[in-house]
Every structure is written in structure tokens, then in C-alpha cells.
Amino acid sequence: MTDAKQKIEETVKANDVVLYMKGTKAMPQCGFSSKVAGVLNYMGVDYADVNVLSDENIRQGIKEYSDWPTIPQLYVKGEFVGGCDIITEMTLSGELDQLFDANGVTYDKDAAEKIREANA
């Protein structure tokens, strides 16, 4: 196992929710990362953010780890959930709420509902 893959595996297993992104949750550095971080931040989800721009091995390694070509990538309880488009769809359909509920992830249900109302 490569160092990058081992580090990724340790991170996704050690945290309930992890977002591999360009930038940080406080300062995203691409629109797609900003959108997913914005949803998680607004919903009050406690998550680990990993800035792929700070480590080229992680940036490439996460794509191989998930077999998914783009960033951001969201993991919940060690499982890859998806990128920006998938997370957006899941948020609007309520599936993200269900995933969080099923995995014991705390989030603001009212905030999730406000996102859906604003996009109705």
C-alpha cells in the first residue's frame, strides 16, 4: 500500500465525515469544493477537510482510492458518497439527510430543509 493510500484510508476511517477538497472548509479554492463545503457548513456537519492542493500524492491518490476522477469527494463512515453533483442532488432530494441519520451523523435538520426550500 502506498503512503498516500494508507494516509487516505486512515483519515476516512478515523473521521465520520471527510471532504477531500481544493482548499479548506474555511477557504475553499474551487467552486465545486466551495459548494459542497458550503452545504456541510450550513448544515452544521462536523467534518474533516483535506486540502488536496497541499499534497500532490493525496490529490492523485484520492482519485485512485475512490476510482472517481474529480474533487471534491465526500466520505461518510469510511464510504465514498460522491462529488459535487451527487452531493447537490442528495441534499435537494433529502437523501443526504437519510444517509446522515442512518450513520448517526449530527446535522441541523432545519438548515437542510431551508436549502431545499431555497432551491424549490
Q: Say what the pTM is.
A: 0.96
Predicted pLDDT of residue 17: 98
Structural domains of the chain in order of their starting residue, each with its CATH number: 3-118 (3.40.30.10)
pLDDT tens readout for residues 7-56: 999 999 999 999 999 999 999 999 999 999 999 999 999 999 999 999 99
Q: Are strands 73-76 and 48-51 parallel, antiparallel or unpaired?
A: unpaired
pLDDT tens readout for residues 60-97: 999 999 999 999 999 999 999 999 999 999 999 999 99
Asked if the model's pLDDT at residue 120 lies above 90, the reply is no
Kindly write down the DSSP assignment for every residue of 32-47, as one continuous string. HHHHHHHHHHHTT---
